Structure 1
C-alpha cells in the first residue's frame, strides 16, 4: 500500500496540485475540521459509493490516525482505483483545516 506523509500532501496542496482527497472519518470527527478541498465519505459508505469515484484519478485517503484510511486504500486498490494512504491521519496533520459545509 502506498503512503504519503502529511507534510508531503500539504506541500502538494500548497503547490496548487489538483488533488482528490477523501476523508473517511465519521461525521462528528469531520466537524472538527478537514483538509481543505477534501470530500467526506465515511469508511462504511465506501463500498456503496465506489461508483462515484473515477478510476482514471488518484485518491488520497485520510482518517484520524491512518488505520481506517489504510483499509479504504486497500479496498480501492483491490477494486482497480489508485489510492494512497496519508500516514498518521489528521492527528499528524499540521497544516490548514476547513470546517465542513453544512
Structure 2
C-alpha cells in the first residue's frame, strides 16, 4: 500500500523538522517551528488517510496479510539458515 510508504516518509520528515526546530540560531527558529508544525499536520493527514483505507479492508484480508508477512519472514530465515549451513559445509558452490 502506497499510503503506508507515504506515511513513513511523512513521519521521517516530521522527525527531521522537529530536530531542526530545536537546533540552530534563534533568528530562524520561528521558520523552523512553522515547518515542524506543517510537517506534523501533513503526517496527521496521511495517518487519517491510512486509517480510512484500513477501514475499507475486511478484517480477514488484514489477517491474511499478517499471515503472509509471517510466512515470508519464516521462509527468509529458513533460506538464510540453509545458505549458512551450505557455506559451513563448503557445499555452497554445488
Pick the TM interval, shorter chain: under 0.3
Structure of higher RCO (CA pairs closer than 8 Å, 6+ residues apart): 1
Q: What's the TM-score once normalised by structure 1's chain length?
A: 0.20
The TM-score normalised by the length of structure 2 is 0.21
Which has the larger helix fraction? 2
Larger Rg: 2
